Amino acid sequence: MKSGKKRQRVRSAIAGLRFARSRPSLGVFGGVTRVMQASGQYEISTDRGRLDVALIHDFLRSSDWARGIGRAVVERSIEHSLCFGAYLGGRQVGFARVITDFAALAYVADVFVVPEHRGRGISKLLMRAILAHPELQQLRRFLLATRDAHGLYRQFGFQPLAHPEHFMTIHKPDAYRNGHAA
């Protein structure tokens, strides 16, 4: 169970999220990467150049949803997503990415926190940063899929699909085992 002190730390970190312009970078927003700085212990950043790709790949290839995924696939997914890293003392401790057209729709994917930093509110910092991102304010819909973290996303306004029968998918659960895992 979390202590009151820990909750307070998370609350102040969330309250302290702000956006700042940083050095010209990977060109997500006209050559400028936006960085979000948490005032507390943890920092959330959208600078793809800071991501620890080895850590992300290591986590995802053993995850339930991307088991066996290849490093090149992870790199490509990062390259084409708006990525959010969580950092402590410069070391990456969490990740989430948003696949979006920056106009109407966004899909939140690959949310994780490294085991030793779980239960400290980091996923909530990530979700807060995603939903506060200035380029994602006018969207009509956010989507995500989760096996058991509904209680996390519900805190941020996500609801089960009102009409799941209106949605369809092409799902290839074996894709990473069939030659796309390079």
Contacting positions for ligand COA (CB under 6 A): 111-113, 118-124, 146, 148-149, 151-152, 155
In the complex, what is the shortest distance from the CB of residue 98 to ligand COA, in angstroms, rounded to a whole number?
Answer: 13
Q: How many CB atoms lie within 10 A of CB 131?
A: 17
CB 46 within 8 A of CB 28: yes
Which residues neighbour 171 within 8 Å (Cβ) at sequence distance 6 or greater? none
Nearer to ligand COA, 39 or 155 (CB): 155
Nearer to ligand COA, 87 or 112 (CB): 112
Nearer to ligand COA, 101 or 116 (CB): 116
In the complex, what is the shortest distance from the CB of residue 47 to ligand COA, in angstroms, rounded to a whole number?
Answer: 20
In the complex, what is the shortest distance from the CB of residue 97 to ligand COA, in angstroms, rounded to a whole number?
Answer: 12
In the complex, what is the shortest distance from the CB of residue 132 to ligand COA, in angstroms, rounded to a whole number?
Answer: 15
Nearer to ligand COA, 116 or 165 (CB): 116
**Roughly how many angstroms between the first and final C-alpha of the chain, as a whole number?**
41
